[in-house]
Every structure is written in structure tokens, then in C-alpha cells.
Structure 1
């Protein structure tokens, strides 16, 4: 997978441990909006970016934040990278839907009508 132009190992989001780490990271991000209210712009940027850095380090290993973002702490870059990660996370669900639809009751009913 490629995030922010940097090649990272593919995540197996259907693996229980990986899925748990991913969900834990998402919960941290969800809580950020309430944390940053009332903060200065610089503190808000720092807090939000650190949360994104933490998710990448938790999922891909310590130091991944430096690999993906370098030494910059840019909110737009962090949010775009996080969006790429979330988009990537949807792919396994799409595959599961295709597989389960293959054996859905509706398909069995349609086959009987032929």
C-alpha cells in the first residue's frame, strides 16, 4: 500500500490483531475533535497530527510516522494520509461482500427459477 507517496506493507485488516489495532486507532481519532476544541491553532495541529502519527506507528511499527511524514507536522498532509488509510481499510469489506453475495439466499432463489 502507498500512503503519502511512501510504500508501506499491506495490512491484513481481516486479521483479528490488526483489526483491533486499527479500531483502537480510529477511536483515538474520534475523540480528538472534542479534545481540540478551545485549543490554539498550533496546539490543535500538534494534537491531531500526533494522533495520526500514533496510528501509523501502532499499525506499521515505531518510526513509521517519520518514514511517511518526515520531520513535518502538517495537518493537511496528516489528514490526507489518514484518509488514504481509511480508504484502504474498506477494500477487504468489499471483497467479503462479493463473496457473501455469491452464496446469498437471493442468488439461490434466482437459480431455482431458471
Structure 2
């Protein structure tokens, strides 16, 4: 898995433990948006980036934020990295759907009729 040009270990989103962590941490990141009203621009950047740093650290291990972002705290870079990650998770979901569709009840029923 490559995030912000940095190669990280592949993350299997269909492993139960990983899926639980992913869901939990994604909710945390999504919830940060509710806390931004009234904050100054630097506070917004710090708050959102910190949430994204924590997201990657929880999923890939402590220090992952430093591997991905170095010492920079840039909101655009953070959001793009999160978007890259989500896109790769979406790809995994599409792969599992493709496999699952082969064995859907409707398809199996149609095959049995032949």
C-alpha cells in the first residue's frame, strides 16, 4: 500500500481485527469535522491533521505518521493521504464484491435452472 509516496504494509480490510480498527478510526476522523466551527485556520489544520496522524498510527503502528508526513503538518497533504488510503480500501471492497457476486443466490439459482 502506497500513501503519499511511502510504501506501507498492505492492510487487509477484510480481516476482522483490521476492519474493526478501520471503522472505529474512520468514525473518529469523521467526527472531527463537528469540532471545527469557531476555530482559527491554524487550529483547524492542527486538529484535522492530528486526527489523520492518529488514524494512520492506529492502523499501521506508532510512528507511521512520521513516515508518511515527516515533520510537516499540511492539511492538503493529510487529506490527500487519507483519500489515497480510502481509494485503496475501496479497491479491496470492489474485489470482494466481484468474488461475492459469482456466488450470489440469484446467480446460483439461474445456473441451477440450466
Tell me the TM-score normalized by structure 1: 0.93
| C-alpha deviation, 1:109, in angstroms | 4.1
- Cα shift at 1:24: 1.1
RMSD of Structure 2 on Structure 1 (CA):
1.3
- What TM-score, normalized by structure 2, do the two folds share? 0.93
Deviations 1:56-100 (A, max 9, x none): 100111111011000000000000000011111112221221112
**In the alignment, is residue 92 of structure 1 matched against residue 92 of structure 2?**
yes
Report the more deviating stretch, 92-101 or 23-32: 92-101
Post-superposition offset of 1:21: 1.0
Map of 1:76 onto structure 2: 76
The worse-fitting range, judged by mean Cα deviation, of 88-97 and 12-21 is 88-97
2:73 aligned counterpart, secondary structure: coil
**Aligned equivalent of 2:66:** 66
The DSSP-based 3-state class of the residue aligned with 2:72 is coil
Tell me the number of residue pairs that the alignment of Structure 1 and Structure 2 aligns. 114
Which stretch of the first structure deviates more once superposed, 102-111 or 51-60?
102-111
